[in-house]
Structure 1
């Protein structure tokens, strides 16, 4: 008999978890943050304000002083001022265009973040500015505040693209797509546009006018994020018309997006933390990841332990009632390292724990390490428990999933292994046998077999009690 080729379909909940990532060390992220244009300009202006500089009621120095600061500090471009949130300090009034843009935004940020204090018509550096500017955690708090403010500002700028609406909410999807991309990978802008406008997860409600302008809408958004050091654009192709525009989330940007995800309740595990979670939590979390995220999670978890330890941990997490889906997923995880587990798996076939026997049998049958004779022997000795686990895993998708399993050409007739020797089912205390038999009697399309499964369930349940 050949290896069962049907893999029960996993349940399909919303894929809310972000993929596990690795963050650069805090000091390295802080160094990057302190050198991004907006942060560097804001801190330079805060220091320039010492000991004091006179300011107008709007919170800005007079134009000659602004020009002096821009020249003396060689301020680099840092975008346009975002819409203020109502905090004390300068605001973007209608005549703010009179303020040099190289000065206006970083000065606004320096005041908003507390690097600069305003009082009695004067601005001065915060008393503890230098101490705080040397603290990596404070640097990252300041930078993250700037990043979140920039994100909200960019989202606000999109509000005018669709009259009568709040505008298409493009940025969260773009940032999430870049976050899910492999580290250091460069994503073509055209791919981001395609993802936003087509496919099953496309943004709904986009008008044709906006859909055709997505590239033009995205590029200014991404340029603003480069000023905060969150995104890197391929500067050789700064405009879509000049060739492929490639976008990459920087390590600092990955840090910032993760903070946003956590703030809105999206799980965003770190690889180093995820690798330390127990097998039960690890297996239960797999279906919340995208396919790529799941592969990263599995690789990270396996890399932190030997194959034998992974087998022990997974075995301990799946040897209990209601753990059939864990066993199936655990078998797929162990399959990736099965070449190192041959003796351990064969030894488990002699275990007195039926769930562990089934786990070992499923891994061996899928390992491609066995010849046909060994496959036949395992199915003869342990086939019923393999089928119990296959059916129990199919049940996790609901009755429709179980019907699909029973009617699939790949699994046709496998349930016969459960009816061939009901006495054997009674003798072996597999934790999911009764549950599987009762489910089969409810949904089996063949009435005669459904009746036989009902009788088998009654006999096994009676003998278990």
Structure 2
């Protein structure tokens, strides 16, 4: 993998079989399949390009159980178009007879026949990966539609005599597609970083603000808030179109919040105060809530990989060596790291896993403390079968300390007491790993205060520790300790450590 290749946190994905079931039950594909079966081998008469004629549209709407829905015809047309786009339905154009030359064709006159396509069999007997491939192709088609301007509005304007081009539409195709990709990317990142298994919905104002409000802006200006409001309305339309694909779970913006200004929808109330990700839920939910489904994670990950982004899945490292596992785990969110470690361990006996992990934990490079901390955390998931391998490193300068910690935590007998040199070496190593992972945190500040408070003369011993990170750790302790006198001692100790080197 290239060192400059963008990398995302790992995501968890269900099996292909589970994802395929989700795809088959997604409203848009399920409706498209039903209409394809309705068309059958004998086919139905259709208009130019395969669109449904008025009588067939009524029948399709009733077949889908949408006759009582005010948008039923539109949903039926979307499902039929989806069937055409995915190959569930094939359009066979009628041959021209030459009759009626120069006569404007009747829009309700059949121009061909639509029959069930070859891909319909994929839904019934294809493998899960085949079904997902078909679903992904259909999703890409809908995504392209979502980034396009409102064709109905364009048709109305043309009918009124306007001469339209891309400039007059104020539409940037590439920019609009990039914006929607960015929004889905932000949803993907939030899903990957989520520390629970539940799909937590994101408020639409917060999602729009993440794309509009500059990172260094403390308080959004009125102009920025107006941009956020416009983006929300755009996303509301796009998410309503995307939701039937199964990529997202979406609660639309409350219609009572929308007013029409100059023929365009606007949020009636200011979005100031609801653009953060932690407003009052009962209020912000009216402005729209969205979450990425497992199918959505699959689809966005697929697009990221095509764009050259490294988008790992939990379990990718299960068949890799311990060196690859320990290199990756420090960058994983906590729950993903544990799941990755458990999948890796499941393919090895405790003795094999422990020996491999400990061997990979050695080293004096900059990343070594992080590897050893990941090694210790992964070892903690192993039972008594790992004990012989752990005992073998008790005299190892780099691993002896964490080996004693593991044995003590597992209630092992005859655990030798560590010498002072090993205790201080493990302390420096652990703090170095935590600094690399999180920087100067409140948790680390508490650890530093506790260490200094428990050991009189801590710094006099610590600066002598032969560890590559000793000076950096002591400098960090000087930053973190609230007592100015103690902080000064830490900085002096760091100077001594550097002078010794």
Q: What TM bracket, shorter-length normalisation?
A: 0.5 to 0.7
Q: Which moved more, 1:339-348 or 1:270-279?
A: 339-348
SS in 2 for 1:187: coil
SS in 2 for 1:378: coil
> Which deviations, in whole Å up to 9, do the C-alpha atoms of 1:181-218 show, x marking residues without a partner?
4676243443x533653699977999211324665554
Change (3 A) 1:393 1:305: same
Mapping of residues 432-443 of structure 1, within 5 Å? none
Change (3 A) 1:308 1:321: same
RMSD, aligned α-carbons = 5.4
> Which deviations, in whole Å up to 9, do the C-alpha atoms of 1:154-178 show, x marking residues without a partner?
3445999x96874554333234434
1:197 to 206, 209, 215: 209
Question: Do 2:6 and 2:310's aligned partners in 1 also have CA atoms closer than 8 Å?
Answer: no
Question: Do 1:232 and 1:250's aligned partners in 2 also have CA atoms closer than 8 Å?
Answer: yes
**TM superposition shift of 1:23:** 0.9
Write the distance in 1 (CA, Å) between the matches of 2:212 and 2:341.
26
Question: Which consecutive residues of structure 2, in runs of 5 or more, have no partner in the other structure?
Answer: 95-110, 151-165, 258-281, 477-490
Partner of 1:7: none
Partner of 1:108: 81
SS in 2 for 1:185: coil
2:91 corresponds to 1:117: yes
> Which deviations, in whole Å up to 9, do the C-alpha atoms of 1:319-364 show, x marking residues without a partner?
345362344323541474488699658734543x433324425657
1:280 to 318, 323, 344: 323
Write the distance in 2 (CA, Å) between the matches of 1:182 and 1:390.
23
Write the distance in 2 (CA, Å) between the matches of 1:148 and 1:204.
34
Change (3 A) 1:336 1:451: closer
Write the distance in 2 (CA, Å) between the matches of 1:144 and 1:79.
29
1:255 to 294, 298, 309: 298
2:139 corresponds to 1:147: yes
2:212 corresponds to 1:209: no
Question: Which consecutive residues of structure 1, in runs of 5 or more, have no partner in the other structure?
Answer: 1-12, 81-98, 426-432, 455-465
2:58 to 67, 83, 102: 67
SS in 2 for 1:354: coil
Change (3 A) 1:157 1:234: same
2:496 to 449, 455, 458: 449
Question: Do 2:5 and 2:309's aligned partners in 1 also have CA atoms closer than 8 Å?
Answer: no
Q: TM-score, normalised by structure 2?
A: 0.60
Q: TM-score, normalised by structure 1?
A: 0.64
Question: Do 1:334 and 1:363's aligned partners in 2 also have CA atoms closer than 8 Å?
Answer: no
**TM superposition shift of 1:380:** 1.9
> Which deviations, in whole Å up to 9, do the C-alpha atoms of 1:228-270 show, x marking residues without a partner?
12333469x9769786466454443343333334333444444
Question: Do 1:339 and 1:369's aligned partners in 2 also have CA atoms closer than 8 Å?
Answer: no
SS in 1 for 2:418: helix
Partner of 1:386: 426
Change (3 A) 1:126 1:312: same
Change (3 A) 1:76 1:234: farther
Number of equivalent positions: 401
**TM superposition shift of 1:315:** 0.3
Write the distance in 2 (CA, Å) between the matches of 1:416 and 1:232.
58
Change (3 A) 1:41 1:383: closer
